[in-house]
């Protein structure tokens, strides 16, 4: 049996060489893991990825081209993830974890027909509204900086409302719904 003390022997010459090689390997693995991780993060934030489920089968993406955040005078490209995935690390990770639940519902076919989708649509929309209310519409603000708004250049209606939103405790999503999707039919019933 090995004596406990023999486990603590000084490293042999071979080991001394092994240490820097091991350290180098760790760095290489670390770099590869980061590149892979970012690749996965990017791939799972693309329109193509979202639309692979929310396309014609789940009916969110198909409505989008009719709205201002798809085609506009300026042609700025707004992606699903720009509105739905936070740019901050932890909330972003949380969204990816929630995505697992979406994969499950997709796999079991919870919303595989238009009827099923429409039935649950209000619940889904409410979740998005609640999330945006809670974050003070953070994803909207990543493009629309309130401090940089020149109210005098906005429409009369906007000028009437915008300057006082903070003191009224209102946030973008309180007034601006249905910017990328059709109105939720069930809300009207």
Q: Which three-class secondary structure state does DSSP give residue 180?
A: coil
> Other C-beta atoms within 10 Å of 52: how many?
13
User: Least Å distance between CB 71 and ligand HEC?
Assistant: 9
Residues 6+ apart with CB under 8 A from 46: 79, 81
Ramachandran angles phi, psi of 3, nearest 5° = -75, 140
What's the rounded Cα separation, in Å, for the pair 128 and 123? 9
Number of residues near ligand HEC (by CB under 6 A): 66
- Residue count (the chain): 189
Rule CB under 6 A: which of 108-167 touch ligand HEC? 110-111, 120-121, 124-125, 127-129, 137, 139-140, 142-144, 146, 154-155, 157-158, 161-162, 165
Residues 6+ apart with CB under 8 A from 140: 83, 132, 172, 173, 176
Binding region for ligand HEC (CB under 6 A) out of 5-13, 19-27, 32-40, 69-77: 69-77
* String of contacts with ligand HEC for each residue 75-94, x by CB under 6 A: -x-x-xxxxxx---------
Residue numbers at the binding site for ligand HEC (CB under 6 A):
45, 47, 49-54, 60-61, 64, 68-69, 72-74, 76, 78, 80-85, 98, 101-103, 105-106, 110-111, 120-121, 124-125, 127-129, 137, 139-140, 142-144, 146, 154-155, 157-158, 161-162, 165, 170-181, 184
């Amino acid at each position: 049996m090995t004596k406990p003390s023999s486990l603590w022997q000084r490293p042999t010459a071979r080991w001394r060489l092994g240490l820097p090689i091991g350290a180098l390997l760790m760095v290489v693995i670390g770099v590869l893991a980061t590149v892979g991780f970012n690749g996965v993060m990017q791939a799972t934030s693309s329109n193509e990825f979202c639309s692979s489920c929310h396309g014609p089968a789940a009916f969110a993406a198909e409505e989008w081209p009719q709205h201002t955040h798809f085609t506009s005078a300026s042609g700025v490209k707004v992606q699903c993830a720009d509105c739905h995935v936070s740019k901050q690390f932890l909330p972003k990770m949380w969204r990816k974890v929630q995505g697992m639940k979406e994969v499950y519902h997709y796999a079991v076919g919870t919303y595989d027909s238009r009827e099923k989708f429409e039935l649950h649509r209000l619940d889904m929309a409410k979740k998005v509204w609640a999330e945006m209310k809670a974050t003070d519409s953070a994803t909207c603000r990543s493009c629309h900086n309130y401090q940089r708004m020149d109210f005098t250049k906005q429409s009369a209606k906007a000028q009437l409302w915008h300057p006082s939103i903070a003191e009224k405790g209102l946030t973008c999503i309180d007034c601006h719904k249905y910017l990328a999707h059709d109105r939720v039919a069930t809300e009207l019933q």
